[in-house]
């Protein structure tokens, strides 16, 4: 199986870029990295730079986030002809366990799109929390599993996976908004449902203390490094 990684870094999110690339190379050194960014200079060495056009106005208060929400999926489709399995990672994450590499094997086993459980659990609750969510989720579906969009691994030879990703872009272009909500709406609209991994695969601040306290059950593998609570919980865990 051929594998690759894509990242995005737009607007004020570019501050995390070099550190994230260095972390990926430490844990996943064998995979090429493709970067979608509006940074014209000072890019990390040894990665592929991909062309972008604005899909969201630079005046948008969450320009960097929304451009990332678009290109994390556009990027998967752009290189679908080159690789079998492609992993998207947010620019502010930190891999802390080599077992994270298993996400490729899991995705290839199920020939699917693999996501991580949203720390807010419910899709409807997560949609309500977003300041620019692309609409609410109907009450009847409020309690469905919510998705975290920080990690997306896709098995691209599967035409159902391609259809799901295209449906995401269709919804985004109609109404840009938060990726976790559009990922859920794309599943509902396409009838194609991602495989969802437990929270340990991406530890967010809201759930960090609980997950690290239970780390003897299954070790956390990736953290939201931009979140102080996630960083502090991780540092205490590493010192044990």
Which tens digits make up the pLDDT trace of 25-81? 999 999 999 999 887 666 666 788 888 887 777 777 788 888 999 999 999 999 999
232 pLDDT more than 70: yes
How many of the other CB atoms lie within 10 Å of CB of 15?
13
User: For residue 41, what pLDDT is reported?
Assistant: 64
94 beta partners: 223
Token pair for 117:
């459980």
Q: Please compute the mean of the pLDDT values over residues 200-219 and round it to a whole number.
A: 86
Pick the more confident residue, 2 or 38: 2
Whether residue 208 lies inside any domain: the answer is no
Whether residue 130 lies inside any domain: the answer is yes
User: Do the strands 48-50 and 33-37 form a parallel or antiparallel pair, or are they unpaired?
Assistant: parallel
Euclidean distance between CA atoms 205 and 184, whole angstroms: 22
User: For residue 42, what pLDDT is reported?
Assistant: 63
Q: Which of 134-143, 148-157, 220-229 has the highest mean pLDDT?
A: 148-157
User: For residue 108, what pLDDT is reported?
Assistant: 98
Is residue 218 within 8 Å of 201, Cβ to Cβ?
no
User: For residue 216, what pLDDT is reported?
Assistant: 73
Whether residue 177 lies inside any domain: the answer is yes
Whether residue 41 lies inside any domain: the answer is yes
Whether residue 216 lies inside any domain: the answer is no
Whether residue 237 lies inside any domain: the answer is no
B/e letters for 112-124, b = 16+ CB within 10 Å, e = fewer, are: bbbbbbbbbebbb
What whole-number percentage of the chain has pLDDT above 90?
Answer: 56
pLDDT per residue as tens digits for the range 143-170: 788 899 999 999 999 999 999 999 999 9
Matching residue, tokens 């709406």:
185
C-alpha to C-alpha distances, 171 to 121, 160, 179, 184, 189, nearest whole angstrom = 22, 17, 10, 11, 9
9 pLDDT more than 70: yes
Assign 104 a pLDDT band (cuts: 50, 70, 90).
very high
Show the DSSP H helices in 1-139 as ranges.
17-27, 63-78, 102-110, 123-129
Whether residue 238 lies inside any domain: the answer is no
Whether residue 210 lies inside any domain: the answer is no
Strand order across the beta sheet in which 113-122 lies: 48-50, 33-37, 3-9, 85-89, 145-155, 113-122, 195-197
Sort residue 97 into left (φ over 0), alpha (ψ -120 to 50) or beta. Answer: beta
User: For residue 182, what pLDDT is reported?
Assistant: 92
Euclidean distance between CA atoms 145 and 124, whole angstroms: 9
Assign 131 a pLDDT band (cuts: 50, 70, 90).
low
Average pLDDT, rounded, for the chain: 88
133 pLDDT more than 70: no
The number of domains in the chain is 1
Domain residues for 130?
Answer: 3-202
User: For residue 240, what pLDDT is reported?
Assistant: 59
> What CATH number does the domain containing 14 carry?
3.90.550.10
């Amino acid at each position: 199986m051929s594998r690759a990684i894509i990242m995005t870094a737009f607007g004020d999110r570019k501050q995390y870029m070099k550190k994230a690339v260095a972390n990926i190379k430490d844990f996943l050194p064998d995979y090429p990295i493709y970067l979608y960014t509006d940074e014209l200079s000072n890019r990390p060495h040894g990665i592929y730079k991909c062309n972008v056009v604005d899909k969201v106005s630079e005046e948008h208060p969450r320009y960097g986030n929304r451009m990332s929400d678009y290109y994390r999926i556009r990027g998967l489709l752009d290189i679908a002809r080159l690789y079998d399995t492609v992993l998207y990672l947010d620019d502010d994450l930190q891999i802390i366990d080599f077992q994270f590499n298993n996400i490729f094997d899991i995705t290839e086993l199920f020939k699917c799109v693999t996501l991580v459980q949203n720390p807010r659990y419910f899709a409807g609750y997560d949609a309500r929390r977003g300041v620019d969510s692309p609409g609410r989720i109907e009450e009847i579906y409020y309690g469905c599993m919510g998705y975290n969009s920080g990690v997306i691994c896709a098995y691209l030879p599967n035409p159902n996976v391609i259809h799901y990703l295209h449906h995401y872009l269709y919804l985004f272009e109609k109404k840009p908004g938060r990726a976790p909500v559009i990922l859920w709406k794309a599943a509902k609209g396409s009838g194609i449902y991602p495989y969802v991994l437990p929270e340990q695969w991406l530890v967010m601040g809201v759930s960090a203390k609980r997950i690290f306290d239970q780390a003897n059950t299954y070790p956390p593998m990736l953290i939201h490094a931009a979140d102080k609570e996630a960083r502090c919980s991780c540092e205490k865990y590493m010192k044990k």
